């Protein structure tokens, strides 16, 4: 118990404390000033926008992918199931590099999303792809088919069954996947930094901004935005957690 | 080893599990802790084992106060209801575990495990895994495992509860035989009175965190100290204030001053006797167990009017248990 | 039927663009001119150095976090105590942290002007801009995985086997080593593999902490970025391929462990 606590403090608590101190130690005024510089604001806004878009797309597509993986049979299905684990394991910088080379200026498809929001969104989709799928898949697999059979016997068509019987049972899992994806995407750095080009006010996300501020020897600015990002991430996780349990309880 | 438990109290948050419980378990006996769920019997067993710590009171094994001792030191063997098999080890390694912890030489362990496999009739299954055994076999393995280090005390927590009726009966017999061979002081927790009567030398009947009566099975059956104990050990008829066993209900065709009237509602014929279900004018029902001869003599038919009296009865004063 | 086909097509197209395409592309562009250039690129002294550093980091971070993870999981599942949820939340915290933020926090503690930094430098221990810093950063970001995998498995295991071991004479350590851990070995293996993957793939935190000097404090991930900046695309892709191969191996091992653990 003691060892665990000691290790934990050294590794997590003390650095966090230092972060908070740096950000807030100079007083609320300094903190606020650092957080409201035009560049910081632009970075934070961009981060929230692209993350929201990416996560929502993933929420929808992730559910569809899970559906196809669980309910459909076609050659290569098992392979795709395995491939979905890769974004978990692949280094973010490698992901960024491959996305840039495929969809950037010299890409084979003539599509160029480097230096654009779309590029960033694409990178975020890649790294968070498994979250929604893996959250929904087990729930879908364990779902009691009797419910659907009952609905069919009562006259409901395929779409109706999917929409009114299956989907409501998946919502807690979908929410959980989105929450996790959100938290991950907000802080994403490696996958984004190459494809974004990091143009301040245009394609600079908050993590990239923080990195820049460290390089430019402005630890206070970096720490301030870092704290905002961290708090946002935690609040989101909690909010989605609460939403998920509320839905679970009222859905029964 | 005698086990002495004195003034044990234990509560889990709001629930009182044991209320001033004391018990003596004589050396070499097989004592059953018998009672309905929630009566505290498992808690008492676990306190004897050292798996729970009492709020107050003492546990002594052979005169030594072991209340503060961890289970490892107490020299006990414990058998769990759901076997608690070490799933990742073979049967052999399960059984030999206690000896391996005590760093006995491999040859010695091997010999002892072989001996035990024979004793519990699992020869040839030593290299299997618990998942490859049936429930009954797993429990026999658990028994062997508990006995491996020759404990002074053997404790069993509803060991046959998870098994089906036939296997249960077999294992009961095995346990009795084992006990006669090893003579280890044994305490068995069960909610099944038939099991307790079949297997135990002494039974402690528990109810609502207290021990109601302790004694040999016959004593508990013939001389219950409370109506709870009497009703726990078999069907009971109420005739006024008295409690009467079905086989103590005497039926006759003619009244005398002591009898009550009833009519026959149903007759169930077993080979060795007849069960007569009777109904009184008040609507109260009685069950009488008649021997074959007695039944022949009476020659009953459904609807007959009969008169009942008690050959033997027990009356309990008010407030003497529920 | 048409709906099913349509859905399948949509999903496959999406995955093609977002997942399969990029994965296939990294391999094809690296090996465009054959294996030779790739091999040359990854055998340069800097590349080898980077690989060594990555492996060294893994050799320290993974065992450290495994021991911590096992201890913490045991503590969290044994019994209730005040602060139990706090402990659980703190362990999970690195999941919510951007790697860059982790790097920043460590610099604030161990950097030149950091809380302990001055003390460290005076005693000849350099953390930031060198290997200890990289290892520390990697430890932080990969902290939660073993614990998160073990906690549900330990809960499901229950206490009976441990109680049985106690009655048979085993002390605390013997019980954990011979009974508890073997019983949860699949969950443990899974957690260890996840931790290893995270450790090898870490970029953001080490980018902040390392100073990024080639041949000295560059991990493989930093090396990829370095080669990219230097317009050495072959070098970058080759290193990326090595990392991608490690990831694929990791996923394969994960699958295997999963299958063994859930028969």
Q: Does the pLDDT value for residue C255 go beyond 90?
A: no
Q: pLDDT tens digit string along A52-95?
A: 999 999 999 999 999 888 888 888 888 888 888 888 888 999 99
CB contact under 8 A, C168 and B97: yes
Chain A residues with CB under 8 Å of C208 CB are 211, 214
Q: What's chain C's average pLDDT?
A: 85
CB contact under 8 A, C165 and B149: no
CB contact under 8 A, A210 and C100: yes
pLDDT at B6: 92
Q: Does the pLDDT value for residue B321 go beyond 50?
A: no
Q: Does the pLDDT value for residue B227 go beyond 60?
A: yes
Which pairs with CB-CB distance under 8 Å and at least 24 residues apart come from B131-138?
B131/B87, B133/B91, B134/B167, B135/B83, B135/B162, B135/B163, B135/B164, B135/B167, B136/B163, B136/B167, B136/B170, B136/B171, B138/B83, B138/B85
Q: What percent of chain C stands above pLDDT 70?
A: 96
Q: pLDDT tens digit string along C85-100?
A: 788 888 888 888 899 9
pLDDT at A215: 84
Please state the rounded mean pLDDT for residues B139-152: 93
Residue ranges covered by each domain of chain B: 3-228, 236-315
Helix or strand holding residue B9 (H, E): strand B3-12
Q: pLDDT tens digit string along B189-214?
A: 999 988 999 999 999 999 999 999 99
Q: Does the pLDDT value for residue B163 go beyond 70?
A: yes
pLDDT at B322: 42
Q: Does the pLDDT value for residue C213 go beyond 60?
A: no
pLDDT at C199: 93
Closest CA to C143 of C205, C93, C89, C98: C93
pLDDT at A252: 45
Q: pLDDT tens digit string along B23-35?
A: 999 999 999 999 9
CA A47 to chain centre: 11
Chain C residues with CB under 8 Å of B145 CB are 164, 168
CATH T-level assignment (fold) for domain B236-315? OB fold (Dihydrolipoamide Acetyltransferase, E2P) (2.40.50)
Please state the rounded mean pLDDT for residues B111-136: 93
| Band of pLDDT at residue C228, cut at 50, 70 and 90 | confident
**Interface membership of A140 toward C (CB under 8 Å):** no
pLDDT at A5: 67
Q: pLDDT tens digit string along C27-36?
A: 887 787 778 8
Q: pLDDT tens digit string along A223-250?
A: 889 999 988 888 888 888 788 778 777 6
Q: How many angstroms separate the CA atoms of A177 and A169, rounded?
A: 14
Q: For residue C34, which phi and psi values (nearest 5 degrees)?
A: 95, 175
CB contact under 8 A, A214 and C103: yes
pLDDT at A2: 67
Q: For residue B259, which phi and psi values (nearest 5 degrees)?
A: -95, 165
More confident residue, B143 or C109: B143
Q: Does the pLDDT value for residue C212 go beyond 70?
A: no
- Indicate which of A11, A69, A96, A212 best probes the interface with C, i.e. most C CBs within 10 Å of its own CB: A11
Question: Taking chain A, what is the end-to-end CA distance rounded to the nearest angstrom?
Answer: 39
Give the Å distances, CA to CA, from A217 to A101, C103, C104, C130.
31, 14, 11, 19
CB contact under 8 A, B51 and C166: yes
Please state the rounded mean pLDDT for residues B54-72: 91
pLDDT at B30: 95
- Give me the half-sphere count of Cα atoms (radius 13 Å) on the Cβ side of residue B306: 25
Give the Å distances, CA to CA, from C22 to A98, A103, C32, C112, C240.
5, 9, 15, 40, 12
Highest mean pLDDT among A154-163, B129-138, C80-89: B129-138
- Indicate which of C63, C74, C93, C100 best probes the interface with A, i.e. most A CBs within 10 Å of its own CB: C100
Please state the rounded mean pLDDT for residues B248-266: 86
pLDDT at B28: 93
Q: How many angstroms separate the CA atoms of B227 and B315, rounded?
A: 8
CATH class assigned to B3-228: alpha beta
**How far apart are the CA of C183 and the nearest CA of chain A, in angstroms?**
21
- Cβ pair B139, B83 in contact under 8 A: yes
Q: Does the pLDDT value for residue C217 go beyond 80?
A: no
**How far apart are the CA of A82 and the nearest CA of chain C, in angstroms?**
7
Rg of chain C on CA atoms, in Å: 22
pLDDT at B319: 54
Q: Give the nearest partner residue to A93 out of C68, C194, C221, using CB atoms.
A: C221
Please state the rounded mean pLDDT for residues A210-217: 87
Contact between chain A and chain C (3 or more Cβ pairs less than 8 Å apart) = yes
Chain A contact partners (≥3 CB pairs within 8 A): C
pLDDT at C115: 75
Please state the rounded mean pLDDT for residues B39-67: 92
Q: What percent of chain A stands above pLDDT 90?
A: 17
Chain C residues with CB under 8 Å of A13 CB are 90
| Band of pLDDT at residue A100, cut at 50, 70 and 90 | confident
Helix (H, G, I), strand (E, B) or coil at B209: coil
Q: How many angstroms separate the CA atoms of A18 and C117, rounded?
A: 12
Give the helix, strand, coil percentages of chain A, each rounded to 5: 80, 0, 20
Which pairs with CB-CB distance under 8 Å and at least 24 residues apart come from C181-184?
C181/C70, C182/B88, C182/B89, C183/B86, C183/B87, C183/B88, C183/C157, C184/C150, C184/C153, C184/C154, C184/C157
**Interface membership of C185 toward B (CB under 8 Å):** yes
Q: Does the pLDDT value for residue A122 go beyond 70?
A: yes
Please state the rounded mean pLDDT for residues B39-58: 93
pLDDT at A165: 79
Q: How many angstroms separate the CA atoms of C241 and C221, rounded?
A: 11
Contact between chain B and chain A (3 or more Cβ pairs less than 8 Å apart) = no
Interface B-C: count of C-beta contacts within 8 A: 60
Highest mean pLDDT among A100-114, A130-144, B139-153, C93-107: B139-153
- Give me the half-sphere count of Cα atoms (radius 13 Å) on the Cβ side of residue B253: 7
Helix (H, G, I), strand (E, B) or coil at B6: strand
Max distance between CA atoms of chain A, in angstroms, equals: 68
Q: How many angstroms separate the CA atoms of A133 and A58, rounded?
A: 8
Q: Give the nearest partner residue to C164 out of B50, B70, B78, using CB atoms.
A: B78
Least confident of A59-68, A191-200, C213-222: C213-222
Chain C residues with CB under 8 Å of B86 CB are 161, 164-165, 179, 183
Max distance between CA atoms of chain B, in angstroms, equals: 78
Q: What's chain B's average pLDDT?
A: 90
pLDDT at C13: 87
Q: Does the pLDDT value for residue C110 go beyond 90?
A: no
| Band of pLDDT at residue B172, cut at 50, 70 and 90 | very high
Domains of chain A: 45-204 (1.10.3720.10)
The sign one gets for the Cα dihedral C163, C165, C168, C170 is: negative
pLDDT at B44: 95
- Cβ pair B49, C167 in contact under 8 A: yes
pTM summary value: 0.79
Give the Å distances, CA to CA, from A73 to A69, A70, B39, B74, C63.
8, 8, 55, 59, 41
Q: Does the pLDDT value for residue A108 go beyond 80?
A: no
Chain C residues with CB under 8 Å of A126 CB are 18-19, 22
CB contact under 8 A, C164 and B84: yes
Q: Give the nearest partner residue to B88 out of C163, C167, C182, using CB atoms.
A: C182
Q: Does the pLDDT value for residue C39 go beyond 80?
A: yes
Q: How many angstroms separate the CA atoms of C181 and C184, rounded?
A: 5
Q: How many angstroms separate the CA atoms of C247 and A85, rounded?
A: 9
CB contact under 8 A, A67 and C7: yes
């Amino acid at each position: 118990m003691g060892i665990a606590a000691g290790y934990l403090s050294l590794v997590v608590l003390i650095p966090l404390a230092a972060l908070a101190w740096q950000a807030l130690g100079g007083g609320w005024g300094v903190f606020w000033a650092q957080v409201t510089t035009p560049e910081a604001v632009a970075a934070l806004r961009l981060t929230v926008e692209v993350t929201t878009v990416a996560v929502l797309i993933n929420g929808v597509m992730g559910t569809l992918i899970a559906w196809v993986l669980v309910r459909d049979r076609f050659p290569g299905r098992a392979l795709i199931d395995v491939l979905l684990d890769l974004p978990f394991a692949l280094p973010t910088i490698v992901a960024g590099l491959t996305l840039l080379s495929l969809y950037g200026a010299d890409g084979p498809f003539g599509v160029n999303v480097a230096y654009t929001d779309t590029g960033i969104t694409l990178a975020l989709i890649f790294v968070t792809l498994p979250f929604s799928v893996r959250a929904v898949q087990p729930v879908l697999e364990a779902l009691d088919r009797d419910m659907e059979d009952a609905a069919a016997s009562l006259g409901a068509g395929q779409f109706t069954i999917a929409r009114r019987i299956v989907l409501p049972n998946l919502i807690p899992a979908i929410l959980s996947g989105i929450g996790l994806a959100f938290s991950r995407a907000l802080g994403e750095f490696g996958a984004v930094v190459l494809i974004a080009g990091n143009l301040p006010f245009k394609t600079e996300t908050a993590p990239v901004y923080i990195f820049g501020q460290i390089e430019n020897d402005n630890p206070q600015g970096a720490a301030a935005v870092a704290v905002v990002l961290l708090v946002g991430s935690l609040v989101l996780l909690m909010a989605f957690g609460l939403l998920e349990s509320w839905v679970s309880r009222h859905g029964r | 080893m005698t086990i002495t438990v004195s003034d044990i109290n234990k509560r889990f948050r709001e629930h009182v599990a044991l209320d001033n419980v004391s018990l003596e378990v004589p050396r070499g006996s097989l004592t059953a802790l018998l009672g309905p769920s929630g009566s505290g019997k498992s808690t008492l067993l676990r306190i004897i084992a050292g798996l729970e710590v009492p709020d107050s009171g003492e546990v002594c094994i052979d005169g030594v106060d072991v209340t503060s001792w961890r289970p490892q030191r107490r020299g006990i063997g414990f058998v769990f209801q759901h076997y608690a098999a070490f799933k990742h080890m073979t049967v052999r390694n399960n059984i030999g575990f206690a000896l391996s912890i005590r760093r006995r030489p491999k040859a010695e362990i091997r010999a002892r495990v072989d001996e035990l496999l024979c004793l519990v009739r699992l020869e040839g299954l030593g290299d299997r895994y618990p998942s490859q055994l049936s429930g009954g076999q797993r429990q026999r393995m658990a028994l062997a495992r508990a006995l491996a280090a020759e404990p002074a005390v053997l404790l069993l927590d509803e060991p046959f509860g998870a098994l089906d009726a036939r296997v249960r009966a077999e294992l009961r017999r095995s346990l009795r035989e084992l006990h006669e061979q090893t003579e280890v002081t044994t305490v068995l927790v069960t909610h099944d009175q038939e099991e307790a009567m079949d297997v135990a030398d002494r039974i402690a009947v528990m109810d609502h965190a207290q021990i109601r009566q302790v004694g040999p099975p016959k004593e508990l059956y013939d001389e219950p100290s409370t109506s709870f104990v009497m009703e726990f050990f078999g069907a009971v008829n109420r005739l006024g204030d008295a409690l009467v066993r079905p086989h103590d209900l005497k039926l006759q065709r003619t009244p005398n001053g002591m009898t009550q009237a009833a009519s026959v509602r149903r007759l169930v014929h077993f080979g060795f006797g007849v069960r007569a279900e009777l109904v009184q004018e008040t609507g109260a029902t009685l069950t009488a167990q008649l021997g074959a001869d007695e039944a022949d003599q009476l020659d009953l038919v459904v609807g007959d009017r009969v008169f009942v009296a008690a050959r033997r009865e027990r009356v309990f004063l008010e407030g003497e248990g529920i | 039927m048409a709906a099913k086909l349509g859905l399948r097509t949509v999903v496959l197209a999406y995955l093609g663009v977002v997942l399969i395409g990029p994965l296939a592309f990294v391999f094809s562009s690296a090996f465009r001119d054959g294996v030779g250039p790739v091999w040359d690129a990854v055998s340069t002294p800097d590349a080898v150095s980077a690989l060594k550093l990555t492996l060294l980091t893994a050799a320290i971070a993974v065992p450290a976090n495994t021991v911590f993870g096992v201890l913490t999981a045991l503590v969290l599942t044994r019994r209730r105590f005040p602060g139990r949820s706090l402990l659980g939340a703190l362990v999970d915290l690195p999941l919510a942290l951007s790697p860059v933020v982790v790097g920043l926090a460590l610099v604030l503690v161990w950097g030149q002007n950091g809380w302990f930094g001055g003390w460290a430098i005076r005693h000849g221990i350099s953390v930031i801009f060198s290997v200890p810093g990289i290892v520390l950063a990697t430890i932080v970001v990969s902290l939660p995985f073993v614990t998160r995998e073990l906690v549900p498995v330990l809960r499901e295991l229950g206490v009976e086997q441990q109680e049985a071991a106690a009655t048979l004479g085993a002390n605390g350590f013997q019980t954990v080593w011979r009974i508890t851990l073997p019983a949860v070995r699949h969950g443990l293996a899974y957690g260890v593999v996840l931790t290893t993957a995270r450790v090898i793939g870490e970029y953001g935190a080490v980018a902040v902490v390392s100073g990024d000097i080639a041949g000295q404090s560059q991990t493989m991930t930093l090396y990829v970025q370095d080669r990219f900046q230097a317009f050495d695309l072959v070098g970058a892709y080759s290193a990326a391929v090595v990392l991608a191969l490690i990831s694929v191996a990791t996923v394969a091992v994960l699958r295997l462990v999963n299958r063994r653990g859930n028969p």
